[in-house]
Every structure is written in C-alpha cells, then in structure tokens.
Amino acid sequence: MSGAIKPICILDDDFSVLNSLRELLDSDGLEARTFDNPDQFLAYAGEHPVKLAVLDVWLPQMNGIDVQERLREVSPETLVIIITGREEPAIHAAAMEAGAFGFLGKPFDDEVFLALVRGALGEAV
C-alpha cells in the first residue's frame, strides 16, 4: 500500500500527538511521516509529493496558518487538515480561507479524525 499512497505528513510540536496520530494512521493502514519543525516539513514537501498534511496551529517557530500558506507555494496540490488545542474563530476562519480541507480542535475523536483523513484522500484509500 505504501507504494500507491504517499505518506500523510503531520506537523506538531507535541511528540505525544505526533506518536499517537502516527499510530492511529498506521492502525488504519496509512503511512505517516512526522515533523516537529516547520522548515523541515516544508523542505520535505518541496521535494516529495504530499497528498495530505495535518498541521498544528500553535508552533514555536511559526503558526500553522503561516505554514499552510507557505505549503501552498511549494506544494499547491497538498490538502491540509488543521488541528489546534486552542480553538479561536479567527484562526478557524483563516485556515478555511487559506484552503484547509478540515479543521479539528484537540482533543478530537479518533474516528472523526480518520473520517476526515479518508475524505481528504478520497478514492486513494
């Protein structure tokens, strides 16, 4: 399956979130690649096809909305799901205006997350 489906990239500064989402996606037969640094993620996305990225909003280096906007420059075809521990209407609106496929507040239900991922991947799953 890993040959047909590109890994889902996850960017978060919380290692427990990275590990749990990677394990969740793995248990659903999906491959995940995790990043805790926006620049490393953007460099990867600029050199590898990324169908879907899961981006945390509140990162020490830059916020996830800025990452989303820079991602559009290096990989415009990548779909984005924004996750955040602090839901703010302005952030939600900015993410959706920037073209996010979905937006989830932490903590979120595993099945809701997987359904959103499956929806973003469409027929590829």
The reply to whether 79 falls in a domain is yes
Would you place residue 124 in the very low, low, confident or very high pLDDT band (cuts 50, 70, 90)? very low
Q: What is the percentage of the chain residues whose pLDDT exceeds 70? A: 94
User: Which residue type, as a one-letter code, is found at position 24?
Assistant: L
Structural domain for 80, as ranges: 8-124
Q: DSSP string covering 43-111, please?
A: HHHHHS--SEEEEES--SSS-HHHHHHHHHHH-TT-EEEEEESS--HHHHHHHHHTT-SEEEESS--HH
In tens, the pLDDT along 10-22 reads 999 999 999 999 9
For the chain, the domain total comes to 1
The model's pTM is 0.92
Residue 118: alpha-carbon gap to chain centroid: 13
- Domain membership of residue 2 (yes or no) is no
